[in-house]
Structure 1
Amino acid sequence: MEPSSRLTTLAVTLSLVVLVGVMAWMGWMAVGGGAGEKRVQTVETMPRAPVSRPSPRPTVTRAEPAVSSASPPQSAETASAEDAALEQLQEALSAPGTIPGEVVLTFRSPTALAAFRARAGLQGLRIVDSDARLLAARVAYRDWEDLARELRGHGEDYAEAGPNFQAWIPGLPPEQPGVDAENAGGREPFREGALAAIGAVGDRSTWGRGVTVAL
């Protein structure tokens, strides 16, 4: 072989050796040797940044007002005034000139009157008549306690409660027995008793003789 050909072959061979060496070194570095270990160690030793998580929203609890199904207790003063009013009504319902076992109720609103119509029978009360324009009802009851219980339980519905008075056409006064002898009692015509009423009795033939009356 010529010297130039040998040099060319040697140069190519050295280039291949160097290339293989470089590739081997790069492969070793990729596997984890040398500087790669330092890089990995450096990454591993770095402190991790704290991960911030969104804090949960505070729960707002709204206190709902307590609603009691039971009606508020009455004060002793209110109960006493109510009992006094019912006692006066009971006395008025039994007064002379009233219809026994009846009461006239006046309501504050048409709704209150309609509600009473719906429950009257359940309360032991009977509606004799009612007027939606006047917001009034004529009610019959057998037991006073039934009426009192209704008025206590629904007192805010009523504007007034009172007796049902009897009404009639006044007549003539009764006749008085006997007759007034002097004036016939003012109820009888004179007839033949007129002269006797003025004292002109007996013989009156000479009365007025010689007397002139000027008119």
Structure 2
Amino acid sequence: MKKVIVFIFLVISCKSSDQIYLDQNKENFTSLLNSNSMEIQNLIPKQYEMVSVKKDGPFPYNYALKNQSNGVEIRYFIKSYKEKWEHYQEFIKNNPNAVLVKPSDEGYVQDFILNLMNLAGENPKIQSNPLPEKVLANTFNANWGSNSLFEFDPKLKFNYKYCNLIVLHKNEMADAYIYFLGNDYRLVLEQSSEHFSNVRFRK
């Protein structure tokens, strides 16, 4: 009887620890969005649940959601220019004689292309298009953006086959990478279409 009680206690403790981690991750992601003048319409959309951020793939990310019925996963990565600039200013303030190159956000397109090449490899099936200016202005309040559909390079041995990647850039603020992941081409397209504008820069 004691063994059963101990086992139940351990299971409950594990679940509690997992929930604490997820709650903290949600709070951290919300804070990250706020600090970069961004907002999310729905932190946990219907039929989705939060999942732990793991180092199990070929790219970093801050926040992840997984559809409980079809298995599509959405991963968000916010690359903050504002944070780099604030760190630079703080460092110069504390080290006035230091020689340091100022951070720049001008390489966002090159960073995007490099990232895409690393993920898709030499796959010729990449479909990548810039987002229209009206969509950027009215939907995302961003200065630049792209939508790319591709298959992951098999050499990466990633557990997902397809990705629809939306990238947004706001001058002197941040880049947002939104990965829609799955093994069913149709479902990935459906979910990316449904949650296309879930994240945006504030006006």
TM-score range, shorter chain: under 0.3
Higher relative contact order (CA 8 A, sep 6+): 2
Which structure has the highest strand share of the two?
2
Over alpha carbons, which structure has the higher Rg?
1
Q: TM-score scaled by structure 1?
A: 0.22
